[in-house]
Each structure stands twice: as C-alpha cells, then as structure tokens.
Amino acid sequence: MPVTPIDPLEGARYMLTGRVVTMDADFGVIESGRLCLDAGRIVAVQDAAAPLPAGFAGAPLIHTDGTIYPGLIELHNHLSYNILPIWQVPQRFANRDRWSNHEEKRARVSGPMQLLTQQPASGYVEAVVRYGECKCLVAGVTTSQGVTLSSAPGIIKRYRGIVRNVEATGDTKLPEAKALIADVAANKVEKFAKEIGRLKTKGRVLLMHLSEGVDDRARSHFLKLQLPGGAWAINDALVGIHATALTPADLKVMGQHGGAIVWSPLSNHLLYGGSADVAAAKAAGVPIGLGSDWSPSGSKNLLGELKVARLVSDSLGQLFTDRELVALATTNPARILKWHPELGSIESGKRADLLVLAGATGDPYANLIGATEAAISLVVINGVPRYGLAGLMREFGGQKEALTVGGTERSLFLAQPTADTVVGKLTLGEAITRLQLGLSQLPDPQPIPASKRGALSRAPGWMLVLDNDDLEAAARRPLQPEPGEAEMAALRAPARPLSEIVKPLPLDGLTAVDDAAHVASFATQGNLPEFIRTGLPRFYGPAM
C-alpha cells in the first residue's frame, strides 16, 4: 500500500518577487526576479519583467523586497533534545564514549529529558516536538533529521511534520534516509556491506555516526569498515556523521568509494576541541553537508552552524568561499540525500522550499551566512508559507500564530491537513508554556492535566526515543545493537540517582538573536578555539 505523502503537491498558485539566488549549476543570481509557484512546485524562475507563464495572469503577486534562497537542508540533528540550553562542557573528551555517561551530562542533558518525556501521555512529548520544529522554521531550515517516538517496546514511528524529516517523507521522489547511532562491530562488517549495497540500489542513504572523537578508539570504528579481502564497506549510500577522527588517508578512501560526511563544527569543537578535517575531505572530493547536532552542545539551528563553518574556514585560509559554504546547507545535502532532482536549488519543476532574507543588496552568500534569525522574512515549505514577517504573512490569509523575533512581529502558519496526531493543533505558545513549567519542576515534572490537553489526551501514549542518550536508554534506540562488554561495564558502574543530580533548567531560547545568555556562553567554553569564542558573538552584534 503506498504511503500518503506528508506534503501532497497541492496548494495555491502565486508569485514572489525579489532577488533570486538559484544555487543551480550556474549559481545564477537574478537581481530582480520572479518565482511562479503552483501546487507546491516552482513553475518558472524568471526576470520580473519577463512575460508570465500560462495561467499566472491573475495569480497573486507578493513583493518580498528581499533575497530568495533555497530552504536550508540539515543532515544531522537530535531534535528531541533541542529544548535544553547549551551545556558548559567540563573537559575535553577523546571520543563520544567518554562523555555519554558523564555525571554532568546526565544532570544537564540525558537526565532531564528522561524525566520529562519518558512517561506516556505526560503532555510534554508533543510540546518538545512542536518546539523543535518551530526552532527550525524560524531559522529557515526546511529539512532536518526528525523525531522518533515509541509507544511500547518495539513499536516505533518517525514523526511526520511541517519541516521535512529525512527519515520519513512518504514520497518516492524523496527517498527516505536510514539512521544509525551505533558503531559497526568488526564481526558485522560483511552484513553492513550488504545493507549499504541494498540502500545504494534503492537510491537511499545511511546517515551513520562515524568515528566521533579524536583518538585512535574513535578512528578504529572507521577501520572496521574494511572487509577481510581489503575492500571497503563504503559507497555513495554511506554518510558519515561527524567523522572527526578520520585522517587524510581515511578521507581519501571515503572519496574513492563515494562516501560523504556531515560536518558539525561547533558541537565537535565544544566536546573534542576539534572537528572533521574538512580541508582533507574537500581535497579528496568527499561531499560535505552541515548539521547543527543538538542544542546542548551545538548551534541552535543551521543558520548558526553556517557561522561556525565560516570561522573555521577562515582559520584554514578561506578554505571555502561563501558560496561553497551556502552550498553545504542547500545543494550539497540535497545531492547527498539523492534529493537533488527535487530540492536544493531554485529551478523550474522543483519543490518550492524557500527562505527569504530581508534586503536585496550586498553579496548574497555572505549575507546569508551573516544573517541572524531577525533577518528572515519568509519561509516556504512545499509552496506553503509557514513563517515570516506578520505583514508579509497576511498576504496569504489563514489563521496564524503571532510571535516576536528580534523585536519584530512574526507569524507562524502551523495548520497541516496531514498533521501527525501526536502534536495535533498544539500551538507554539502552549508548547512553550508546558516546557517552561516542566523544566522548572525538575527533577519531578508533573504531567499536564488531561483537561488541558484536549483531544491529545486520548491519543496513544507516545514517548520520545532519546536517540543520543546514555546507555540507560540503549535498548530503546532504533537500530542500536546490544551493548558490548565494555559498555555493559559502564552501565553497571554506580551512578547517582537522577533525583539527586537533576535541577530545574530554563527552556532554551527559540532563537540566538533573542538569547543573549546563549551567545555569551561561548566565551566561557574552554574547548573552543579563540577564533570561535570571540568570532561567533560578533555575528550577533555588540548588544549581545
């Protein structure tokens, strides 16, 4: 039985004008451009003075007075954790096993999320999902890794929402990615090779945490991908998330076999004091996409991660041009996912996923990298205007939710005929109220009364799968094998009860531009190099 598309190709016919940054093969920029949109697709990309295509003579014309880009595509994020403020990382870690069960991480990250979201029908799960989606929307992110839920052991679903989820599209033209948190065991490499071979045949990819860390143990997980005969279990279906321990020789192997990587420079620097060797990756022809990882040790959104990527690039002698950096969040990830016939650039026939920045002067690529959330005037997904300046959103009609970003009134349009019943009609405002309450009540958050949850109280008791949690939740991770002996030893090690170490926390701010504490926190993060500690706050202005 075919799956119902999450975003059916239907909807209004209308036109947008503004400067158009196509990100197509020629990297065309139309200074005074017009986009003709119909049924979720781009019908025409043209100069504003060109003749209209057939059927558009009476279509509404919306003047954005801004610069139009493809929507940002994120290849890695643990959205379930993005209600939490950034963690003051206590030390430099050699690999991810060293911090996964660290007591401070349990107190500030995994513990709060377990206490808040692991009780069915608590009223917090849907609030976490709504908040995470809106956090993407207000930063121009139209695609990310999504949220995974469970209602009983073995019953797993991936949330289908407004922001595209690379793991759940319901659309054969947007092949669904598979995700893997665990490392590949040496005795399972042949089975793994067959699996990525099947994915390649189906035109799908595997987004897999690969060699996360900076020591030999982290690198050993990459070396295990070599088969007994010397061949490698690597093809263009393999996308290595983080890949921080890979040497130039390793990256050359990745490039020779078609593998790609996801770069998360802020999170990697915060935890490990360094990130993937993107200079070697670029030299080896390895495709690179960006991921902000998660808010506890990363950027709030992909717009913020672009700034860190720019700072790292500059420290490497302008390794990437500004246009190449923008490609890391648009065309590159679309190609890595094999979605490029449908998304990643502004071209006739493609899906209308768009981001509009205020203003139409200056270098468009540098402008996007330097923009804060306050500069975003419109976000469109599948032709549907989902977020933007209140005045601009009024042009499209419909019931909207008001919010303020950067001191300016904005509007959200969250209505969705195919909405997942997990979240239903929950507003961002109500999600914020619930999350602020629950986080303030830690370590004993009280369930939201059923009377305040309406129809959602009758829905199945879905819980979040905390896919980047410590070993206490290992059994509930999708695709996670049984822990090995070393991991079991760590699991058996004495640990203080969460009730003793978890304290109340604030809700992480929706945007960086309105969260001075978040921006200021970079100055005290000991693992960050000076060029990030001092350079990143400058993007947000002296007032921050």
Residue 183 clears pLDDT 90, i.e. is over it:
no
User: What does the pLDDT read at residue 455?
Assistant: 54
Closest CA to 213 of 224, 201, 222: 222
Please say if the pLDDT value at position 3 is more than 50.
no
Q: What is the pLDDT of residue 154?
A: 66
Check pLDDT > 70 for residue 393.
yes
Task: Indicate the pLDDT class of residue 486, thresholds 50, 70 and 90.
Answer: low
Average confidence score pLDDT of the chain: 90
Above 70 in pLDDT, residue 487?
no
The residues spanned by each domain of the chain are 14-71+342-412
Residues in the chain: 544
Please answer whether residues 213 and 244 qualify as being in contact, where contact means their C-beta atoms are separated by less than 8 angstroms: yes
Look at residue 493 in the predicted model and tell me its pLDDT: 58
At 501 the pLDDT is 96
The answer to whether the CB of 144 falls within 8 A of the CB of 166 is yes
* 499 pLDDT above the threshold of 50: yes
Average pLDDT value for residue range 50-59: 96
pTM of the full predicted structure? 0.94
Do 212 and 242 form a contact (C-beta atoms < 8 A)?
Answer: yes
Q: What's the pLDDT tens digit per position in 123-161?
A: 999 999 999 999 999 999 999 987 888 776 667 788 888
Of 453, 365, 356, nearest in space to 410 by CA: 356
Phi, psi of 378 (to 5 degrees): -165, 140
386 φ, ψ to 5°? -105, -25
User: What is the rounded CA–CA span in Å between residue 338 and residue 531?
Assistant: 35
Q: Which of 80-84, 100-104, 475-479 has the lowest mean pLDDT?
A: 475-479
Whether residue 544 is predicted with pLDDT greater than 80 in this model: the reply is no
- Looking at the domain that runs over 14-71+342-412, which CATH code has it been given? 2.30.40.10
Identify the pLDDT of residue 463.
80
Of all residues in the chain, the percent with pLDDT exceeding 70 is: 91
